[in-house]
Amino acid sequence: MWKFSAMDDLWLGCWGVIRCHNATLDAFTSLLPLAALAGSADLEAVAAQLSSRTSAPPRPAMRSDGSAPANVREYCVVARRHEHEYDGKQLTDPWGLIYEVADRCEPILDEEGHDTGHRNPVGVHHTTEPLVLRARPGEWIKVTLINELLPGGEDHQFHPHHDPFDARFGPEPSPPRLPLEHLDDLGYPDERTISPRVSLHASLLRYSVYTDDGAYIGNNRDSTVASKGPGGGHHHGGGEVIFRYGEHGHGDGHGENGHGGDGHGEERESNWREYWWYADPELAPAHHRDGQGRVCYLYDMADIRNHRHHGLVGALVVEPGDCTPVDPVSGEERWHGPNVRLVDRKGKPVANEQVLILQDGLRHFVAGNPELPVRDVVPDDDPEDSGQKGINYRSGLINHRVGMATKPPTPIWEATVGERLWLRLVTAADKPRNHSFTVHDQAWAFAPWVGDGPWIGSASGLSTDSTHDIAFTANHPGDHAYRSGAFMWAVEQGMWGLLRVKKRGN
């Protein structure tokens, strides 16, 4: 799939399909000849040569005991509902969604001990931060994604006498506008469908789009994940929750689950599937002296309109081959989470790494009250400026009497003078309005791979789905603001935070 990544453009139809045929003689005869092959008489030899090229090396086979070989890094991720507290209890998203890492997943058995086809996460690391995974170059990443948006059973969200202040799963009453949407009398969208399916789509990594794309495109397999909650669509607020034919015991339920379990597909789809992604060696060097690797954007494509601006976004960092991430407090090895310290093979410090995910097109609610959405600054302004802003599910709103002389709810990145800092920026924005980003009193190489090139103190052109990897040194103690370059309205709506640099020994 090719697409314009901004939600306004995608909504208006700026997407399409690049259909890649297998390199066979029939494919050559059905397509216009390539200029490079115009003089070739042996198309069969050309087809054989092209068919030997793959988008990724062969996927490794699992061991007989079910464990993964050494070049496979495994994660279990669960998608759940979670009320994001963008500014404490006074400013939240009651319809928030989140990815969380679990230690493992296990089958859910029925009363007779048979596998139901569903999976249950075990040892979930509950968090309020976005999903950040890590890998080394040349590794396969196996992610098992479990859908728990609708947990099943007697779900209060579908009870006819539910609490009116409890946000049921579905569209929020005043979502950020998109072009050409049907609007209510107050100018907000009121005819929107929501899906309980989820997925994980990976940018920059190599994989089979046919099975591991985290989407449902063209003739590819459906690589999104069904929920195991109660079936049947329902209306709520300004839209409707839609269950696909075949979910929750309705229809045939083909049970296609990619590379995982039987799913007992005769009755329903499973609530899980596996994704296999390959971290190309071109994404990170073998040694940290040769570069800092790359951050890859992860996001949901099962419901492009709803899930992303409610929080189903994340990142995967491909670290240099000689680096190991450790917890900044305990020093224990830890491969997930936005902030880690990186050490080399001898345990010596390499860098202090922080992942920041920039968000726009959000909708905040005062004190989590579904009846009190925060209105747009200019209600009749262009849709590309609608919604609120945030970083890592937090928004540090500016009080003009105090300014930025306060403790923001956004991440406070703690460092020590002399420490090497690696900043990973992910623009998980919905809107086409570009952002810029600066760190006070800091500068970094604009193109470090060039050598003796120019230095800058602000990154510009941060468009939707873009990522930036920035390296600099903490030279001076104090609180250094990191922020958007747009004071109106990004900084005022909370797109800023602090880099807190302490003197050695403090």
What confidence tens digit (pLDDT) does each residue in 288-346 have? 999 999 999 999 999 988 999 999 999 999 999 999 999 999 999 999 999 999 999 99
Task: Quickly tell me which residue has 């009755």 as its tokens.
Answer: 267
Pair 195, 183: CB distance under 8 Å: no
Is the pLDDT confidence value at 50 over 80? no
Binning pLDDT at 50, 70 and 90, where does residue 233 land?
very low
pLDDT digits (tens, 9 = 90+) for 428-440: 999 998 999 999 9
Predicted model pTM: 0.90
The Cα diameter of the chain in Å comes to 77
Structure token digits, residue 487 = 């004071």
Q: Which of 138-147, 159-168, 254-263, 270-279 has the lowest mean pLDDT?
A: 254-263
Binning pLDDT at 50, 70 and 90, where does residue 424 land?
very high
First to last CA, the chain: 51
Pair 135, 302: CB distance under 8 Å: no
The single-letter code of the amino acid at 480 is H
Q: What residue ranges define each of the domains in the chain, with the CATH number in brackets?
A: 2-51 (no CATH), 72-281 (no CATH), 328-502 (2.60.40.420)
Who's near 262: CB < 8 A, 6+ residues apart? 115, 117, 255
pLDDT digits (tens, 9 = 90+) for 76-119: 999 999 999 999 999 999 999 999 999 999 999 999 999 999 99
Fill in the DSSP letter of residue 51.
Answer: H
For residue 236, the cross-strand partners are 239
Is the pLDDT confidence value at 193 over 70? yes
Is the pLDDT confidence value at 348 over 90? yes
Is the pLDDT confidence value at 43 over 80? no
Binning pLDDT at 50, 70 and 90, where does residue 476 land?
very high
Distance in angstroms (rounded) separating the CA atoms of residues 180 and 389: 22
Structure confidence at residue 278 (pLDDT): 97
Binning pLDDT at 50, 70 and 90, where does residue 32 land?
low
Distance in angstroms (rounded) separating the CA atoms of residues 353 and 422: 5
